[in-house]
Structure 1
């Protein structure tokens, strides 16, 4: 660990241009408006139409802008590329008026047809966009994505002129504006993508820094795999005068302890998750840099229902019933996380889960007997898969021990780097896998959609006709109380069938240097780098233990 930490500090010094400067990267960054952020894992890609991970989204928020954006202070919808919009009385037609000064990072004008083509690409069946379902409220979008029609002119999105975009829905979608801020609906530069392949090709060279064209407040500067992704100010951005940062550097550091040491050494302005054994120290001794707040994210395990014995509901239930969630959050995560016995986190809009996952070891043992594995006899050895991270490993170890003690079964643990881990999930190459789901918009439907049979984020192989029917019924009503009641019924089915095992609801335990201004805590971990700036007169991030 010491060798790796030294490597990162030297690397950061070089990247900041301060190898012969006694000041830290943070101090020089404050002076030059260069923000240094710990970003967890190495991003799998930055193409907004194919990624699903949080590390990727952190970078995409700097590089792309949709029709609308969010205020990181309030999470209210604010204008993005569209400076205004009109909604019909029946809620089925949206008309967006685009900014005449909107530009791509190469200087090209950004026009309404760019959104039409981008959404065509995002919905191409060949691209395999796992968030394609986000578009399904748009007329004929689902039919196009599923190959039932091939003429995109039939889809309800039209460029009326260069600066007017019309969208027609099949039903009112109360959260439609929030969806438009999701990365899957971001515009992409057609000429650049087609230069390096077909629209439906994944992983082409268009995202390399030397080729990249985006429309956000920043543009790609450098991507050194497993070291740094650096973005720089986009001088063609329509609101360029509001952007104070010159650069943002994202570092793929998957060990929380390493991030914390780098923060303390003045090499990072922000780390998003403290090691559990450091939380009390910062709470007590350095509250000026410590940030704690709830998060709209659930940590859970997926069960691969295509693989025996996990194709047996009784086995899945036994595993889910035999863990002690409270012990996990009190003794392992220790970050103020609430234990989760349902999938949807508590919401301030009035939704509350009506069902919960039981914790009942005796019933779990009975279920294993019913499934043909009395006292764990002849139960095959399963593997828990998780992406490389100390906290994920600790949780897996405790669950391994709980299952051994309660059910007398053996499980193995396996960790994989982020890209490989993501590919294993996509291809179903796992038994049990760590998962998390962060709300993309503040509505229970965002969580319920995940486990629909055609959703690319399902990844469990589970499908339930009654569950699907309830969600479809909820889509047809605008009455909030009725919608919530239907989602409660659907969530109860999900918990009873147990293709997943909820474990806890996330909290954020972050460190933010005092020099960082306009970095707002919010439940969705949404930050607009556009408004962030660094106060060179503030106290350094460097801290002594």
Structure 2
């Protein structure tokens, strides 16, 4: 990936230096992702949030996500879906690779097939398991065939990992150049991407500089005027957003869809029995758990699959709704006491791995109090591989039960799992009827819930710091904030 010419690169570098000295200007938008600096890479298939955004900016797929999280045309200018939902036919726009050669359907087909093979063994690969064939029909038409309808296929194809590349280089809406501590991105003129020419393009756009910093440094950079936008904030570091930054910008919360809870990794001792694992889940006071964070609108849940999704047929309810918190804890305490009384030397103690940060400290303190209420001591460890429980904090890629269930598939080996739940999900691969598929997913969720291999808490928290002059930022449930809209100058 490179800027269009050496002169542009020199000017961009000079602008970057001047912006760093002066606190920024109209010609540069400075974006910081919270994380570790090594995460700002867009190679491979397991991308960090920063890597996902960089990949999406430099290598478009057939479709992409816009600032609101909606699916929009990308390499494909339009598409049709057959009445049975088993075939998606994409018409490619008249665009070229970075070296000027035309993008042909055969190349797109081959790249998609390669990506699908490489994704096998990942949760995203499981999401795409219904694809049975990718065909090049003519020079600019590609067909994707499915084993059964997948209403969320376009949303999945819009994921950054499905960006099309040739020889490791993609043709995205932005050209990128590596700097010492980040990436400098320049929007490509629309006519280079097979789109109508915009005579005012140079006046409408500006460059974007992207880097990754630990949470405290990211917030400090924003507070000092050295960053216009901070992305990928989580509950672990949310308290830092209140330290000075509010005087210079705004904390924005995505109403994210996904998983936030505890995955059980150990099947020994106290956690060997599903009923005792359930005891831990029953002990948590979910409505009060995040009270110290003062997050308006956050809704706790005891369900694994987010309630109210389009394929939710209403057969799975919130758990223990007929019991008060005190009644739940009394039942849970009896189970723990019964296990302790069955053998000498037993200790009701479990370990939990959380990411570092003041938010994690608050969360741990609350969970420790909840578990103590049923006679279980909670210890914190740094290494997830050595923990009995690990925090799952993950934003969904699309809004269907299948995504949630795929996160706990046994082949992924992220912790305890349910082969019975996997079997129901596998059955749904070939089910043609939407109601039948939804019923199979409900059965799979019920199997997972009964096994108590995951303790749901609620939806994940994602926050950003956004300066007033930044255009193109919108909250959305996928916590994806494309870089190209951020490059637009304020009107």
- Superposed pair shares fold, TM > 0.5: yes
Alignment partner, residue 94 of structure 1: 88
Separation of aligned partners in 1, 2:122 and 2:42: 10
* 2:151 corresponds to 1:188: no
Secondary structure at 1:66 match in 2: coil
Alignment partner, residue 355 of structure 1: 317
C-alpha deviation, 1:355, in angstroms: 3.0
Separation of aligned partners in 1, 2:309 and 2:71: 17
- Once the two structures are overlaid, the 10-residue window that deviates more, 244-253 or 359-368, is 244-253
* 2:466 corresponds to 1:498: no
C-alpha deviation, 1:397, in angstroms: 3.5
Alignment partner, residue 354 of structure 2: 386
TM-score (norm 1): 0.73
Secondary structure at 2:177 match in 1: strand
Change (3 A) 1:20 1:91: closer
**CA contact 2:40–2:48 (8 Å) conserved in 1:** no
Unpaired runs of at least 5, structure 2 = 1-12
**CA contact 2:33–2:50 (8 Å) conserved in 1:** no
Separation of aligned partners in 2, 1:376 and 1:447: 40
Secondary structure at 2:403 match in 1: helix
* 2:435 corresponds to 1:460: no
**CA contact 1:314–1:370 (8 Å) conserved in 2:** no
Change (3 A) 1:137 1:388: same
* 2:302 corresponds to 1:302: no
Alignment partner, residue 451 of structure 1: 408
Change (3 A) 1:403 1:246: same
C-alpha deviation, 1:451, in angstroms: 1.8
C-alpha deviation, 1:460, in angstroms: 1.4
What are the within-5 Å matches in structure 2 for residues 507-526 of structure 1? Answer: 507-526=461-480
Alignment partner, residue 150 of structure 1: none
* 2:364 corresponds to 1:396: yes
* 2:189 corresponds to 1:250: no
C-alpha deviation, 1:60, in angstroms: 2.3
Residues 361-399 of structure 1: CA deviation (Å, up to 9, x unaligned) = 222222324545679962375432233333233312432
Change (3 A) 1:429 1:54: farther
TM-score (norm 2): 0.81
Which of 191, 197, 214 is residue 170 of structure 2 equivalent to? Answer: 214
* 2:230 corresponds to 1:271: yes
Secondary structure at 2:17 match in 1: coil
Change (3 A) 1:100 1:398: same
Alignment partner, residue 142 of structure 1: none
C-alpha deviation, 1:66, in angstroms: 0.9
Change (3 A) 1:14 1:346: farther
Residues 44-78 of structure 1: CA deviation (Å, up to 9, x unaligned) = 474575215434323322222110123333x4432
Separation of aligned partners in 2, 1:365 and 1:20: 57
Secondary structure at 2:143 match in 1: strand
Aligned residues: 462
RMSD, aligned CA: 3.6
Change (3 A) 1:54 1:389: farther
C-alpha deviation, 1:430, in angstroms: 4.1
Unpaired runs of at least 5, structure 1 = 1-12, 140-155, 193-212, 416-423, 538-545
Separation of aligned partners in 1, 2:175 and 2:356: 29
Alignment partner, residue 8 of structure 2: none
**CA contact 2:395–2:460 (8 Å) conserved in 1:** no
